[in-house]
Structure 1
Amino acid sequence: MPWEVTSVMERRIKFVLQAILKETNFSQLCLSFGISRSAGYRWLWRYTETGSVGSLMDRSRRPHHSPKRVSAEIEQRVLDERRRYHWGARKLRELLLRQGLDVKTATINRILKRHGMITEKQRCYTASRRFERTNPNELWQMDFKGEFAMTLGKCYPLTIVDDHSRFGLGIFALTHPQGKLVQRCLIETFDRYGLPEAMLMDHGAPWWSTTNGYGLTTLSVWLIKQNIRLLWSGIGHPQTQGKVERFHRTLKEDLRHLPKPETLHDWQKAFDQFRHRYNHIRPHEALAMDVPADHYTSSRRSYSTELAPWEYPEGAIIKRLNPQGCLYYKGRYYFVCEALGHEWI
């Protein structure tokens, strides 16, 4: 018998016909078809009960009654929240708990799969190890989130995130990654939340320069004058800025489900709405499903436009650099750093 080249349905029909003829011992017949006696009796019983070969088709194993299945109303609520926020099961469970509905994570996953709202590509896995500062404002991370095309020009989003709480301190829609524009955004952020102890950034403009041996720019010098310690991520290692990079990924995923803004004003509106959701609504797994706003408090260090002069050891020779950042000493000019022009060093 060419068993391998026949379909399952054909094999079952042949088995039943031969079993009815009783020309072969039933046990031997089952053995020749490679099935157990119980399976053979099941197929024979189905056919004799109905008299139709259609009864030999596989039947659904779905139970006739599922007493523990959630109601249609709760299932619809899960689908509505999924369409609204596009979150996974763990975050949706936390959101439903706030609304007084206790739906298990596995149940939410089954609902999403049943309605084709989750794929293998969308699955995320919890980080095995995390690093964070002990308190808010010990470290802020700052970076640009690439660029977004507009009807006229491009939008460059500047993002600032608190390392401890993941709180989004600001997302600013800029027309260009210029130092003066970034400084204006930082002043607004400092006025609202105070000063951090340190800031972490990458080796990019406008806070890093390759024209001097210190990497200083006018912006970074201004930050140092605010008594903020500057830290730099490893070159080619964006994971050093893991908090802001993860913030960017969440921002990108959120914006993917919204109509594309076409003006700078529209982009800023979209960023403001996202920041509110991120800080006050979206559960964060690294915060035990709390929201960042629950873990953030403003800094006690207030921003001031009156900057104290730098202090040097007693007896040090102090000279003022010219506008080009050069030091005149003993009849000669020495280049120090253009970002330190007019400064006393």
Structure 2
Amino acid sequence: MSHANAALTPRHRLKLARAVVEDGWTIRYAAAVFNVSWPTAKRWADRYRQGGPDAMDDRSSRPHRCPRRTPRPVVRRIVHLRWRKRLGPVQIADRLGLAPSTVHAVLVRCRLNRLSHIDRVTGEPIRRYEHDRPGALLHVDVKKLGNIPDGGGWRYVGRPQGRKNRAATPGKPRNAHHHPKIGTAFVHTVLDDHSRVAYAEIHDDETAATAIGVLRRAVAWFATRGVTVHRVLSDKGSAYRSHAWRDACRELGITPKRTRPYRPQTNGKIERFHRTMADGWAFARMYLSESARRRALPGWLHEYNHHRPHTAIGNQPPITRLTNLSEQYN
């Protein structure tokens, strides 16, 4: 593409070329009129004779031949070592007798220069999936957070003051070392695979009865928005492996699915939601008590679902995708 101060834009190149080829101007005269050099005027006139008006655009600077380009068998060996061994450019170069810069150039060209582009376990390129309608699959999981003592936690007040706040929080049991046990908040989250709309509740345990109650209320919550749930995906936590969970899913007309062991990537949408939730709500500001943090969750969920743009769905809030497609399919 010609730069902003170029003497000849594609439109003026065409005028020059037609003046020479069709009107009979000399190269010298056309160069003087258009204020360019003689070789420039001749170049565009010759290109017009060969390709017509379409030849007036800039050509790619890529050479037609690359005799010193890395051979394809070597490229395949570099890609194989990157996929299977997840080695860096220096290690691959040492094994193959190449320069690290050459290996890096090949990895960039094959879009393998960052290990985040490769599955951590299998070494294969990451395969992303998304169901085509709301309710086709719900992701469920539990996020554990330590309760906040009265006066604030150590993340904001520092560890010495945090220990004092723990000790001063009334009504807490003691552990074997006589330290107060603040307890754990279990955030049960449900996420729609297609729209990324989230539903969450905070409880004091992660038993099967609690998880089933959250699922029933989440299914009802989605139903009020016109979404019918068909499948639910969970990890192999004890609550999700129970017969009670299986029976509850069967009663609701939902097919339960489970991820493979040690593969959180399969449930990656809700894992990424937990990170967003931690940054946007759990640790976003200083809370003076656990009850204050729990009261802030519904407001943050509304912000996430209705106002926060989501990059995976075209920088739109999740609720917009759920609303549009739920009307189409239901």
TM-score calculated relative to the size of structure 2: 0.47
TM-score calculated relative to the size of structure 1: 0.45
Rg larger in 1 or in 2? 1
